[in-house]
Structure 1
Amino acid sequence: MLKIEDLLRPEAYPHRPQKVELRQTHISWVFLADHLVYKIKKPVNFGFLDFTTLEKRQYYCEREVVLNRRLCPEIYLGVVPVMETERGLVLEAEGRVVDWAVKMRRLPEEGMMGRLIAEGRLRPEHIDLLVRKLVPFFQKAETGPEVNRYGSLETVRFNVEENFAQTRDFVGRALSRLRYEHIVSWSRRFMEEKAELFARRIREGFIRDGHGDLYSANVCYDDLREVYVFDCIEFNERFRCGDVAQDLAFMAMDLDFHALPELSRRFIEGYVELSGDQGLYEILDFYKCYRAYVRGKIGCFTWADPGVPEDEREKALAAARRYFDLAYGYAGGRPFLLVVFGLSGTGKSLLARTLAERLLAVHYNSDVVRKELAGLSPTEHRYEPFESGLYSPEMTERTYEELLRRAARDLSAGWDVILDATYRSRAHRQALLELARRLEVPVLFVLCEAPEEVVRERLARRSREEGEPSDARWEIYLAQKARFEPPEELPPENLLRLITLDPPETLAERLEARLSRL
C-alpha cells in the first residue's frame, strides 16, 4: 500500500508546489498540487474494474490518457511513475517504480459545471458550447463491429437487468415496490417492443466508443471560451461504449435532476439540430431512465457502505430516492394521491403513517399541519370545544388549503402524496378531485370506518399516549359524525371503504395491491 502521507509533501513533486491537497473517490487518490493534478488508482477489484496489480494500474493509466485526450488533449499530460527513494515516495524521479499516476493540468474550480449549477450561473450559452464540442466528438468516435456489440439489445438488456438485480435489496428503502415493479416492467416492455429500434441504431452508425460518464461532475468551462469534458470511463468498455443516446441522456437527466428542464431540452434539441440525429428522441427516455437508475444504484451502494460517515450516507440515500423518482417519471410513471379520511378514532392516521413508510410517500397529517400554521409543536395539545379556537372554521379552512397546496407542489415534483385528515366536507374532497384531474394523477380516497365501541376505546387510549398530535375526544367524534357529509360526489373507482379492525400492516398491504391497479 502506498504511503499516502509521502505524497502530501511538496518535495515529492518535481515542480515543488506550495500546497498539496488530497481528494479521494472509491477508485482513486487525487493529489492537487498547485496547477497540476496527479491521479493514482487504488489497488481495488470491484468486478467491473480490476486495479489490483501494478501492471494493470499502468495499463489503465495509459488508457485513461489516450481516451481522454479525444476531448481535452491539453489537460491530460501523460503517465508518470511513482518512485520509491531514500527520501520516500517521489513522482517523476529515479528509483524503484511502485505505482503510476495520470498527470493532468488542473482545471479551474470556478468553471466546474456542478459549481455553475449550484451557484445559478449555468447559462444557455454554456449548453450550446458543450453541444458544439460533443457533436464532432461522437461523429469521429470509433465504431464498427467490435463497438457495435455494446449497442446490441443483448448487451443493453444485460446492463438493465444487472441494475435491477443489484438494487432488489434496496426496495422499500430507496424506492417503493410499486415504483420498482413499474420501472422493471416498462423497461422490459420497451426492449421487447422496440427491438427493431435498437437494431436500426446500430445500422445507422450511432453506436460509438463514447465517454460513459457524461454529466456535470466531469465538465468544466473556461468562461465561454472552452469546455473540457474529462474523466471518461477507461476501465470497462461495456460502460463506455454504446449508443450515443446513452451519454446524451446522462447529461440531460443530470440537468433534470438539478431542476433545469429548460437547459436539458436545449441540450438535446441543440444536439439533434446540429447532428441530424432525429432518431435520438425515440430512445431518449429509455436511456434517461437507465441513467437515472444507475445513479440511484450508486447512491444505494454509498448508503450501504459502513465506512462512509453517517451524514454522507443519509445524503446519498436521499439523492438515490430522487434519482429513482426521475427514472419512474421517464418510464411513464405518475405519482398518486392517496386521501385517507374519516372520523376521528377510525384508525386513519395510523394507517396513513404505515402506508407512508411502506410506499416511501410524502405524508401530511391535518393535526400536524394545523399546529404548524398556529406556531405550535405537533404534540402541544389544545382541548377546545368543537369548531372553536384552534379548530375554528377559519383555521380549518386554512389547514385544508395548506394541505391542498402541499399536495399540488409535491405531486408536481413527482412524489406520491398521502393526505391524512377528516375531510368531512364535500367541498374539500372535490378540490382534491379537481387537483388530481388537473395534474393528471391517479387519486384514491380511502374512507376509514370502525364500530363506535372501538372508536371510543381508541380515543381513550390515544389520550394517554405521548407524542400523539390529535386532540380528538369522544364528544368531538360525535360532533364530527353529525356533520359528516357522505362522499356521494366521489366516483366509485376513486373511493374505497375500509373497516380498520385488522392490523395496519395488513390493511396497508391490501391497499398497496389496490394502488398497483390505479
Structure 2
Amino acid sequence: MPVPRSPDLLRQQQLVDALCAPGYLPHRTKLEETHISWVLLAGCDAYKIKKALDLGFLDFSTLEKRQFYCTEELRLNRRLAPELYLDVVTIGGSPEQPVLGGEPAIEYAVHMSRFPRSAMMDSLLADGQITAAHIDKLASSIARFHAALPPAAADSPFGAPAAIQGAALENFAQLAPSLAAPADLALLEKVSAASALEFAASEPLFRQRKADGCVRECHGDLHLGNIVLLDDTPVPFDGIEFSATLRWIDAISEIAFTVMDLLQRGRPQLAWRFLNAYLENGGDYSGAGVLRFYLAYRAMVRAKVAAIRANQEDAAQAQQEMMSCRSYLALAHDCLTRRRPMLIITHGLPGCGKSTFAQIALERLGAIRVRSDVERKRLFGLDALADSRSQTGAGIYGEEATRRTYARLHDLARGLLAAGFSVIVDAAFLRYTERENFCVLAREIKAPFVIASLQADEKVLKERLAQRLARAADASEANAAVLQTLQAAQEPLQEGELAAAVTFVNDGDADALRATVDKWASSDARLTGR
C-alpha cells in the first residue's frame, strides 16, 4: 500500500497539480514522479521539485534544505551535463496558485533542458540500440571525469573503511523491514554475511586507496537510467546531491554501478567491455581488489530503492518492484561468490589479431585484459595514442623497456588473479622466457593457463599494420620494419608449451573469429571446469 502523505507532501501535491493544470505553463505539461521528486515536463523544459521527505539517507524535509540541495544538484551535474542543467528557479504564490519565478519562494525547482525518455540508455539498451562504441565512449568520458577530480582530504571521513561499511550496513538495515518472505530474508542474511567477509578481506585496500587519492567527489548514481544519449554521446545526469557520503566515494564504486546495471539487465558482454575500457583508460587495476564488494553494494542500493518504490505503489506495481528487489538481491549474492580465475596470454606477431581476440574473449569469458601496448606507454608517461617517436628496438621499445613492460604486466596479472578475476594478457609473448614467467604465475595461483596463439598470413599482417597506422587510433606503433625484426627474433612454442596452447587462425573475418572463440570457450575443459 502507498505510504500515507504528510501535510507538507499534501501541500506540495497541491502545488504540483496546479502547475500541471492546462494552460498554466506555455506548453502542455506532463508529470513524472519518482520516490523522491516530481518532474514537470513542458515543451523543451523540465522542472524538478524535491519531495518533503526524510528517508534517513536523504533529508528534503524543509524548504531551506530543498533550496540547498537544488543548488547542489545544479553544481554537481553541470560537471558532466552542463547542457542539461540550466538553473534553480523559485516558485512563489500559494500551493493553489503558484507562480513560477515568484517571490517569496514557497518551493524551489531545478530547471533543466528536456530530453525524450527514449534517449535514455536503459530504454535504448532494451531496444537493442546501445552499441560497443557507446560503451567505449561512456567508459572513456567517466575515466577522464574521475581523473580530473581532486581527491578527498586525507583527514576527511569520506572513503574511510568505517564510512564504506556504514553505507553497506545501512542498505541492509533499511531493506530488511520491507522483506517478509522467509526466502527473501534468508537470502538477505546470506548477502549480508558474504558482504561482511568481503569487507573484512578488503579493509586494508580500502585504507590504501583512500591514501592514494582514489576517493573523489563522483557522480554517485551511475546506472543506465541516469545516462542519456545526446548527439550519439552518453551523458550522465541526476548525480547524487543529497548525500556527500554517497558521492565522495572510491571511483571503482562509481563504475561498479554501471557494471552491475549491465549485468542485471542481462548484458554481461557490455558489462565486461565497459569495465575493461574504463580500466584501460585510467589504469586503476588495483581497484579490482575492491570491485567485488562494490558490485554487491550497488546491487543492494538498487534493491533498497525497489523496496522503497514498492511501499509507494499500488498492489500490482508493488509486486513488480519486489520482483526487481529480489533480482538485485540474487545478483549481489552472485557478485560476492568467488570462482576460480584463469590466466590467458596471447601469442603472435604484430597484426595477427591478438587485441581483437582479447576483446572477444574478455566479453565472452568475463575477464580483465591488460595490454602491453597501453601499459608500455603508461610506464613512460604517454597516452595510449601518443607517438613515442621511438625507432625499432629503441626508446620505449628497447630491451630494458620491454623487460619493464612484461614485469608490469606480470604484476598486474598477479594482482587481478589474487582478486579473483580471470586475466587476459594481450602481448606478443614471442620469447619463451616471457611465456614461462606467466606459466609459473598460473601454477602459483593454481589457475588454468592458456596460450592463445594467433596466426595470419604475412601479407595479411603487413596490410593490417599499414591500415592501423593510417587510422592512428591504436596504441600499437608496429610497422613493417618491426614485423620483420620480430619475425627473425621470435622463439616458437616449445613442446612443453603445446598442451597449454590453442591456435586461432585470423584471416580478418571478425564474425568467424568470434564464432571460433565462442566454440572454444564452450568446450575447453580449462574454461568450463569439466
Tell me if both proteins adopt one fold, taking TM over 0.5 as the criterion: yes
CA shift in 2, pair 1:37/1:169, >3 Å? closer
The range that moved more, 191-200 or 235-244, is: 191-200
Contact 2:94 2:106 in 1 (8 A): no
- Quote the Cα distance in structure 1 between the aligned partners of 2:218 and 2:190: 30
Shift of 1:278: 0.8
Following TM superposition, by how much is the alpha carbon of 1:180 offset from its aligned partner in structure 2, in angstroms?
3.0
Q: What amino acid maps onto 2:260 in structure 1?
A: M
Partners in 2 of 1:333 and 1:163 — Cα distance? 22
What is aligned with 1:55?
Answer: 64
Write the deviation string for residues 246-280 of structure 1: whole angstroms up to 9, x where unpaired. Answer: 11001100000000000000100000000011112
Q: Which residue of 2 aligns with 1:8?
A: 20
Q: Identical aligned pairs, as a percentage? A: 34
Conservation of the 8 A alpha-carbon contact between 2:37 and 2:49: yes
Shift, 1:164, TM fit: 2.3
Distance change in 2, residues 1:333/1:296 (3 Å): farther
3-state secondary structure, aligned to 1:150: coil
- 1:25 aligns with 34
Report the counterpart of residue 109 of structure 1 in structure 2.
Answer: 117
Which one of the candidate residues 298, 303, 317 is aligned to 1:312?
A: 317
How far did 1:5 drift? 2.4
Q: Decide which of 283, 294, 304 is 1:297's aligned counterpart.
A: 304
TM-score by length of 2: 0.59
**Of residues 149, 159, 162 in structure 2, which corresponds to 1:151?**
159
**For residues 301-380 of structure 1, what are the structure 2 equivalents within 5 Å?**
301-303=308-310, 305=311, 307-332=312-337
Task: Report deviation, 1:333.
Answer: 7.2
Find the partner of 2:52 among 27, 43, 46: 43
Q: Secondary structure at the match of 1:156?
A: helix
CA 1:148–1:277 in structure 2 vs 1: closer, same or farther (change >3 Å)? farther
Contact 1:148 1:208 in 2 (8 A): no
Moved more, 54-63 or 260-269: 54-63
- What SS is found at the alignment partner of 1:145? coil
Which residue does the alignment assign to 2:373? none
Instruction: State the alpha-carbon separation in 1 of the partners of residues 178 and 51 from structure 2.
Output: 27
Is 1:120–2:125 an aligned residue pair? Answer: no
Note the aligned Cα RMSD (angstroms): 2.2
AA at the equivalent of 2:314: P
Work out whether residues 154 and 210 of structure 2, in 8 Å CA contact, stay in contact via their aligned partners in 1.
no
Alpha-carbon spacing, 1:181–1:4, altered in 2? closer, same or farther (3 Å): closer
Correspondent of 1:137 among 145, 162, 175: 145
Distance 1:178 1:52 in 2: 34
8 Å contact 1:112–1:221 — kept in the other structure? Answer: yes
CA contact (8 A) 2:159 2:250 kept: yes
1:461 maps to what in 2? none
Structure 1 pair 5–174 and aligned structure 2 pair: CA distance change class (3 A): farther
| Separation in structure 1 between the aligned mates of residue 213 and residue 262 of structure 2, nearest angstrom | 26
Where does residue 265 of structure 2 map in the other structure? 258
Per the alignment, residue 272 of structure 1 pairs with: 279
Q: Is the 2:35–2:309 Cα contact (8 Å) retained in structure 1? A: no
1:283 to 268, 290, 309: 290
The answer for unaligned runs of 5 or more in structure 2 is 1-10, 340-530
In structure 2, distance between residues paired with 1:95 and 1:232: 28
- Kindly indicate whether residue 219 of structure 2 is the aligned counterpart of residue 214 of structure 1: no
Aligned partners of 1:220 and 1:229 also within 8 Å: yes
Could you say if the C-alpha distance between residues 97 and 164 of structure 1 is closer, same or farther in structure 2, counting changes exceeding 3 Å?
Answer: closer
1:81 aligned residue: 90
Deviation at 1:232, TM superposition (A): 0.7
* Alpha-carbon distance, 1:171 to partner: 5.5
- The question of whether the paired residues in 1 share the 8 Å contact of 2:152 and 2:217 is answered with no
- 1:85/1:96 contact within 8 Å kept: no
Structure label with greater radius of gyration: 1
For 1:263, the aligned partner's letter is L
Tell me, in whole angstroms, the C-alpha distance in 2 between the residues paired with 1:79 and 1:128.
33
| C-alpha distance in structure 2 between counterparts of 1:5 and 1:62, whole Å | 24
How far off its partner does 1:299 sit? Answer: 2.1
